[in-house]
Amino acid sequence: MADSRFFNNQGPFTLGEIAERVGAEIADGADASLRLDDVAPLDSAGPGHLSFLDNPKYAEAFAATAAGACLVHPRFAARAPAGVALLLANEPYRAYARASQLFYPDEARGSDTFGEPGTIHPRAVVHPTAKLGAGVTVEPGAVIGAGAEVGAGSVIGANAAIGKGCTIGRDCFIGPNVTISHAHVGDRVILHPGVAIGQDGFGFAMGLPRHEKVPQLGRVIVQDDVEIGANSTVDRGAGPDTVIGEGTKIDNLVQIGHNVSTGRGCIVVAQTGVSGSAKLGDFVVLAAQVGVTGHLTINSGAQIAARSAVIHDVPPGQKYGGVPARPVREWQRELAAVKNLGKRRKTGEGSASD
């Protein structure tokens, strides 16, 4: 059960209410009026809990669960233990995510960290020309600069700094120690602690007798429903803007260089770096520790394996991996060939002159 000191449970909800929320079908024999208090994993759930089965690896845990109800694909319904009410869904994990949002809405959208929602703390500094919408929370130590605008219902966390002229949309969560400058942020954006948005891009005219700084005159545009993980950085553009597309999710410790643009719904996993002026299409996936060279395009639907180095454009819908990144099947064949060559050397089938 989630610790109530940190998480605000809005339950209980009936099975019928949950089914309506997540778009699931109540299985025959299940009682729509069954009240459920919380969500929990299969192995720790009790009679008042909703759980789920998505991965067949956990079929045994499903067969032994004591959960009151479970979200499950219809093909696994017959494995349910007696007494467990079933909600049938083609995508149980997505349905569970929506159900969890019902119980814990604050965790889906971000909430205040200090404990005084909807207030402007006296130790915050808000410039007289800044505009704050209804119900905005500004926590201790936060600074909001001249002409900045913050939309209704947004939270500005402790010690966050919102630079002059920046705009932040409605129902955003700007975590503690976030810095935002030269940026426009859409609605329902979540920026976790330590995120830095809009600082200078790394732009220099290099040479003797010194490297000359190139003024970075663009902005950062963060579109609606974006989430950016802790201590990630998004540089502002050098002239064109840096753009983070609608619904994109960025993990912790990611670096996005100047002039980069991402499409809608991209996934960028931890410790990835995207160099300046690279372009990502819609629903691109960059796994952990990927490096992307500047001025190239990763087209829509492409997926890049972890620890890969992308140095050429990637066609739409393709899976690439390796250093340098190439089509996954080609990369895997090369790895297999090297592995087999090593085995041959070890058993004496080859020689140094082969």
pLDDT tens for residues 132-162? 999 999 999 999 999 999 999 999 999 999 9
Q: What is the pLDDT of residue 339?
A: 84
As a CATH number, domain 178-354 is 2.160.10.10
- Proportion of the chain above pLDDT 90, given as a percent: 92
Average pLDDT over residues 19-38: 96
Give the confidence band of 351 by pLDDT, cuts at 50, 70, 90: low
Domain boundaries, given as residue ranges, for the chain: 13-109, 178-354
SS (H, E, C) the chain: CCCCCCCCCCCCEEHHHHHHHHCCEECCCCCCCCEECEECCCCCCCCCEEEEECCHHHHHHHHHCCCCEEEECHHHHHHCCCCCEEEECCCHHHHHHHHHHHHCHHHHHCCCCCCCCCCECCCCEECCCCEECCCCEECCCCEECCCCEECCCCEECCCCEECCCCEECCCCEECCCCEECCEEECCCCEECCCCEECCCCCCEECCCCCCEECCCCCCEEECCCCEECCCCEECCCCCCCEEECCCCEECCCCEECCCCEECCCCEECCCCEECCCCEECCCCEECCCCEECCCCEECCCCEECCCCEECCCECCCCEEECCCCEEHHHHHHHHHHHHHHHHHHHHCCCCCCC
Which residues have a Cβ under 8 Å from the Cβ of 59 and sit 6 or more positions away? 53, 76, 79
Residues 6+ apart with CB under 8 A from 311: 293, 296, 324, 325
pLDDT, tens digit, 9 for 90 and up, residues 80-130: 999 999 999 999 999 999 999 999 999 999 989 999 999 999 999 999 999
CA 21 – CA 17 distance, rounded (Å): 6
The catalytic residue among 49, 182, 184, 258 is 258
Q: What is the pLDDT of residues 162-218, one digit of tens each?
A: 999 999 999 999 999 999 999 999 999 999 999 999 999 999 999 999 999 999 999
Domain 13-109 belongs to what topology? 3.40.1390
Whether 258 is catalytic is yes
pLDDT at 349: 60
* Cβ atoms of 257 and 239 closer than 8 Å: no
Residue 100 main-chain phi, psi, to 5 deg = -65, -35
Q: How far is Cα 340 from Cα 28, in angstroms, rounded to an integer?
A: 54
Whole-prediction pTM: 0.92
Give the Cα separation of 76 and 84 in Å (integer). Answer: 13
Given a contact cutoff of 8 angstroms between Cβ atoms, the answer to whether 150 and 132 are in contact is yes
- pLDDT at residue 57, rounded to an integer: 94
